[in-house]
Amino acid sequence: MTLLECIEGPEDLRGLSQEQLTRLAAEIRDLLIATTTRTSGHLGPNLGVVELTIAIHRVFDSPRDKIVFDTGHQAYVHKLLTGRVAQFGTLRQRGGLTGYPSRAESEHDLVENSHASTSLSYADGLAKAYTLRGEPDRTVVAVIGDGALTGGMAWEALNNIAAAKDSRLVMIVNDNGWSYQPTIGGLAEHLSAIRVSQRYEHVLDYIKTTLSRAPLVGGPLYGTLHGIKKGIKDVLQPQVMFEDLGLKYVGPIDGHDERLLETALGRAREFGGPVLVHVITRKGLGYPEAEQNTVDCLHQVPAAGALPGTWSRVFGDEMVSIGARRPDVVAITAAMLHPTGLAQFAAAYPDRVYDVGIAEQHAVTSAAGLAMAGLHPVVAIYSTFLNRAFDQTLMDVALHKLPVTLVLDRAGVTGPDGASHHGMWDGSIMQLVPGMKIAAPRDAERVAELLNEAIEVSGGPTVVRFPKGKVGGEVEAVAKLGGMDVLRSPGDGLAADVLLVGAGVMALTGLEVADRLAGHGIGVTVVDPRWTKPVDEALVGAARRHRLVVTVEDNGRVGGFGDAVARLLRDHDVDMPVKTFGLPQEFLAHGPRDEVLDEAGLTPQHLARQITEAVALRSVSSSGGDVRETATRAS
Ligand SMILES: Cc1ncc(C[n+]2csc(CCOP(=O)(O)OP(=O)(O)O)c2C)c(N)n1
């Protein structure tokens, strides 16, 4: 039995010797590598926090003390130390452990949102609550990476925490110099100045020896730390910045020296007010393939980069051609250059790409500024993270009718990252934005076509949304209906029973549904709207020529494309039932995309059954002709 297998909870760590802790760290690293290379997952970040997580759990008393992991992708070690070794092999598998903290999994898990830069705000609230409730013996710990620290919310929180002098709050900045890519920005430059400083080793030694001589508790300790800080002020800039905010600063601490970490954290805990502990770690430590990976230190396995054949790559390739033709087109990423497919654009036009850090709100308003000055920015963002920048899209971009294109990767069900990563909101919230135009390509050709159309729009914002993963082969239109593509007409001998409008890839699902329904004698016209906002008014006439309208979208059902179609038909007094299929408006668990879609009823089989029942309920009286009579042949 390994040491790790004997750890059923943090209390089992307490009796271990330093030598055993070293062995434990090695066992954890072995398991992290063996598991994530099989199941997929965040390898690099977790390898970097092994000693830190051990130290946190030896110093603090979870779950009485509260530990908030920012983003939560680096919480695997925490899972292993809180009784989940046996289940770890099920990581990110359907029904297995989630890839982030999960309140359902453990009382030691608190925050499962996985959207970065929130930990300090949660921690601020928790610590204030414990003060108010008269529970001063509890400490709140936030673990935040230097990448997550580039997010605006983190700074709003710091500003407030600095003023909450009674909060027993320990903020651990896990500084490895990397976000997905090397962390960018003014703060990052300060932090990296420390790491490359030739005097860094001396500083660590100095802190090590001085800390071990420091008094054990409270104010006197801080006097000592303060003295250290002042002494190294010329070498280390960040603490000056934190100090100017009014925050106590401890560091930098070698994040792989478990004993030293314990000493620093123990003293931070005893201080009794908010303290920031600056810890230097190495992303990917212990796995050469991660340590030496120059793209992202194996932030994720398999790599999140835009591989050939993926939607992101098709987008990225098209951006390179657009960039050659349109010198006014610039690109923005919020710390996701490679995963969003912008790496080639960055290589071709290094001056025309901006990595703003994990700062989606800033990305969008900065894009507004670029557009005001005559450029056409393309903001490439994962669908789920656009939620952050709704107000910026609405008020900063749309109100000013600015030509900004938001390219939303990973729209719809994404899979193993679970509830917080499914891109199921954008199709609804973007419907609310006046003047917004939303494109949903069904295949690679349409990604290029619709991206180009979006970039031609000069009077307001546009969205292009597409899913995660591999893109299928081209599906050609058989006819046009207004600006939409007709992919299939009911077929010989079948009536125009159902008008099925499938947004994006759901148009392809629609084709399979139509095949199944044809087998039951039900004629289906399948339309890909291409643009899901504004809804093409040609649907009004087409609806009148069928007996049932069906919409299918890979987005939450509430307020999405389907609701927009139903509204259009109501507004035109079309007396036609509309069945809107989409994702249930719930937080959907993790699992393979096809399984999540299956559970949501969005497979051809489920849809065909439900549509057959709906058709059966309709009266047989049929009106109007066949869309084939009115559609013009696609040229
Ligand atoms: C709002 C938001 N934008 C983007 C991401 C995607 N993302 C996940 S982890 C990560 C990098 C985090 O870097 P850091 O906090 O330094 O942690 P590390 O992985 O380096 O330990 C990013 C950009 C996210 N989770 N949330």
DSSP 524-546: EEEEE-SEEESPPTHHHHHHHTS
Reduce the DSSP state of residue 438 to 3 states and report it. Answer: strand
Which atom in ligand 1 lies closest to the alpha carbon of residue 148?
Answer: 15
Mutate which of 50, 51, 71, 417 for ligand 1? The one with the most ligand atoms within 8 Å of its CB, which is 71
Nearest CA to ligand 1 atom 16: 147
Nearest CA to ligand 1 atom 21: 45
3-state SS of 561-622 is HHHHHHHHHHHCCCCCCEEEEEECCCCCCCCCHHHHHHHCCCCHHHHHHHHHHHHHHCCCCC
Spacing, Cα 181 to ligand 1 middle (Å): 10
Q: Report how far apart, in Å, the C-alpha atoms of 213 and of each of 207, 208, 216, 223 are.
A: 10, 9, 9, 13
Spacing, Cα 589 to ligand 1 middle (Å): 20
Nearest CA to ligand 1 atom 19: 45
Residue 468 near residue 306, CB atoms below 8 Å: no
Residue 62 near residue 108, CB atoms below 8 Å: yes
Nearest CA to ligand 1 atom 11: 179
Spacing, Cα 179 to ligand 1 middle (Å): 6
Spacing, Cα 421 to ligand 1 middle (Å): 12
Q: Of 585, 603, 584, give the one whose Cα is nearest residue 593.
A: 603
Which atom in ligand 1 lies closest to the alpha carbon of residue 175?
Answer: 16
Quickly list DSSP for 44-100.
HHHHTTHHHHHHHHHHS-TTTSEEEESSSTT-HHHHHHTT-TTTGGGTTSTTS--SS
Residue 193 has a pLDDT of 61
- Pocket lined around ligand 1, Cβ cut-off 6 Å: 45, 48, 71, 73-74, 114-116, 145-148, 174, 176, 178-180, 283, 299, 334-336, 358, 360, 385, 388
Spacing, Cα 357 to ligand 1 middle (Å): 9
Strand-pairing partners, residue 278, are 173
Residue 178 has a pLDDT of 81
Query: In this structure, which amino acid lies at residue 493?
Result: G
Residue 601 near residue 610, CB atoms below 8 Å: yes
Which tokens go with 117?
A: 């830069």
> CA-CA distance, 330 to 101, in Å (whole number)?
36
Spacing, Cα 245 to ligand 1 middle (Å): 24
Q: Which stretches of the chain drop beneath a pLDDT of 50?
A: 196-236, 621, 623-635
Q: Report how far apart, in Å, the C-alpha atoms of 338 and of each of 214, 299, 332, 377 are.
A: 45, 12, 12, 18
Which tokens go with 116?
A: 């970065």
pTM of this prediction? 0.90
> CA-CA distance, 335 to 260, in Å (whole number)?
31
Q: Of 382, 454, 396, give the one whose Cα is nearest residue 425.
A: 382
Spacing, Cα 301 to ligand 1 middle (Å): 15
> Largest Cα–Cα distance in the chain?
91
Residue 233 has a pLDDT of 40
Which atom in ligand 1 lies closest to the alpha carbon of residue 146?
Answer: 16
Q: Of 606, 502, 480, give the one whose Cα is nearest residue 562.
A: 502
Q: Using CA of residue 431, residue 437, residue 438, residue 442, what is the dihedral sign?
A: positive
Which atom in ligand 1 lies closest to the alpha carbon of residue 385?
Answer: 1
Which atom in ligand 1 lies closest to the alpha carbon of residue 144?
Answer: 15
With residue 353 as reference, give the H or E element that holds it: strand 353-355
Spacing, Cα 230 to ligand 1 middle (Å): 31
Q: Of 491, 490, 502, give the one whose Cα is nearest residue 539.
A: 502
Residue 50 near residue 33, CB atoms below 8 Å: no
Quickly list DSSP for 148-172.
GGGSHHHHHHHHHHTT-TT--EEEE
Query: In this structure, which amino acid lies at residue 468?
Result: K
> CA-CA distance, 225 to 228, in Å (whole number)?
5
> CA-CA distance, 478 to 462, in Å (whole number)?
26
Which atom in ligand 1 lies closest to the alpha carbon of residue 281?
Answer: 21
Spacing, Cα 391 to ligand 1 middle (Å): 22
Which atom in ligand 1 lies closest to the alpha carbon of residue 49?
Answer: 21
CB-CB neighbours of 431 under 10 Å: 20
257 Cβ contact partners less than 8 Å away, ≥ 6 residues apart: 51, 208
Quickly list DSSP for 203-265.
HHHHHHHHHHHS-SSHHHHHHHHHHHHHHTTTT--HHHHHHHTT-EEEEEEETT-HHHHHHHH
Nearest CA to ligand 1 atom 4: 358
Q: Of 607, 373, 380, give the one whose Cα is nearest residue 500.
A: 607
Q: Which residues are catalytic?
A: 283, 360, 388
